[in-house]
């Protein structure tokens, strides 16, 4: 397993692979890898001759009051995990390598300013910028994204379709711990008590599914019950709970068919966590 730090070396590596007719899978990450990332890497290793895992804590997707500086990092542990799963390369550039004189923005308007985009208005433009750059540097046949970040996946899929990136996107379902908490690098910020409260996110999603199965169709009633469940746990503050149309991410008033997602963001202590139920996989 190789660690590559520069764009030129990464391009050269890819060029050699393509000369030999090898297929390439890309797994973009910010590192501090867990089994959620592991599931993406495993699928890529299974599908492709070569798997490139990018580890880059992308400054342009953080706003100034967010956790860029304290975002957890552990390259030694990450390298071991990638190697153990069979990944071939970690692409780990410095911010200066990625953002020399970069004034180009990529924006999927309409989808980026709702849900998480309300609390994080510049976030998805930063994500689209870095993912575009990674696609152009690595030119993967396949790229792997987790549905843990459902809005991100839908935005990137729209970007890929709209801008004709020659890459196939592969969505991977959420990996959870044994208690149902969606794995996230940010879970490391939680105290033991906060971790217990963080279970309320998944519990509220299950509750919503149960209500829908029992025949409830009124979205406002479902959301009110989810809200009450979450705030019955200490340290929680709801950022948003939404039930939206699959493609447009527009709010639904009524559940009419299976084409909906339920998404939520909740502060547990100072840590903002997201989770969702998606009809994608």
Q: Is 38 in the site for ligand AMP (CB under 6 A)?
A: no
Stretch that binds ligand AMP, among 15-23, 30-38, 87-95, 158-166 (CB under 6 A): 30-38
Q: Is 149 in the site for ligand AMP (CB under 6 A)?
A: yes
Q: Are strands 89-91 and 50-55 parallel, antiparallel or unpaired?
A: parallel
Q: Is 184 in the site for ligand AMP (CB under 6 A)?
A: yes
Exactly one of 34, 37, 123, 261 is catalytic; name it: 37
Q: Is 134 in the site for ligand AMP (CB under 6 A)?
A: no
Residues in the chain: 281
Which is closer to ligand AMP, CB of 33 or CB of 222? Answer: 33
As a whole number of angstroms, the distance between CA 276 and CA 230 comes to: 14
Stretch that binds ligand AMP, among 7-15, 142-150, 200-208, 271-279 (CB under 6 A): 142-150
Q: Which two tokens stand for residue 18?
A: 């393509």
- How many residues of this chain bind ligand AMP (CB under 6 A)? 17
As a whole number of angstroms, the distance between CA 135 and CA 186 comes to: 25
CB of 15 to ligand AMP, least distance (A): 26
Strand partners, 267: 237, 272
Please, are residues 244 and 222 in contact by the beta-carbon 8 Å criterion? no
Supply the Cα-derived Rg of the chain in whole angstroms: 19
Count, in order, helices (H) and strands (E) of the chain. Answer: 9, 9
User: Is 37 marked active-site?
Assistant: yes
| Among 25, 93, 117, 146, contact with ligand AMP (rule: CB under 6 A) | 146
As a whole number of angstroms, the distance between CA 148 and CA 205 comes to: 13
Instruction: Give the interface with ligand AMP as residue ranges (CB under 6 A).
Output: 29-30, 36-37, 39-40, 145-146, 148-149, 172, 174-175, 182-185
């Amino acid at each position: 397993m190789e660690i590559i730090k520069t764009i030129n070396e990464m391009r050269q590596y890819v060029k050699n692979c393509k000369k030999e007719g090898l297929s390439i899978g890309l797994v973009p990450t910010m590192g501090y890898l867990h089994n959620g990332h592991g599931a993406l890497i495993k699928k890529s290793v299974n599908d492709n001759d070569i798997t490139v895992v990018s580890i880059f804590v992308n400054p342009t997707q953080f706003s100034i009051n967010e956790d860029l500086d304290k975002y957890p990092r552990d390259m030694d542990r990450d390298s071991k995990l990638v190697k153990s799963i069979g990944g071939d390369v970690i692409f780990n550039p410095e911010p200066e390598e990625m953002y020399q004189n970069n004034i180009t923005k990529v924006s999927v308007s309409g989808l980026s300013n709702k849900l998480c985009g309300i609390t994080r208005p510049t976030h998805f433009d930063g994500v689209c910028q870095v993912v575009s750059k990674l696609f152009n540097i690595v030119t993967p046949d396949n790229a792997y994204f987790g549905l843990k970040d459902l809005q991100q996946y839908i935005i990137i899929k729209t970007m890929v379709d709209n801008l004709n990136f020659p890459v196939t996107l592969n969505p991977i379902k959420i990996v959870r711990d044994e208690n149902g908490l969606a794995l996230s690098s940010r879970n490391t910020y939680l105290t033991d008590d906060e971790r217990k409260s963080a279970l309320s996110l998944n519990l509220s999603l299950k509750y919503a599914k149960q209500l829908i199965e029992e025949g409830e169709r009124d979205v406002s009633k479902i959301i009110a019950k989810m809200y009450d469940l979450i705030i019955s746990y200490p340290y929680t503050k709801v950022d948003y709970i939404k039930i939206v149309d699959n493609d447009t991410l527009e709010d639904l008033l009524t559940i009419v068919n299976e084409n909906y997602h339920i998404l939520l963001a909740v502060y547990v202590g100072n840590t903002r966590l997201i989770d969702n139920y998606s009809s994608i996989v």
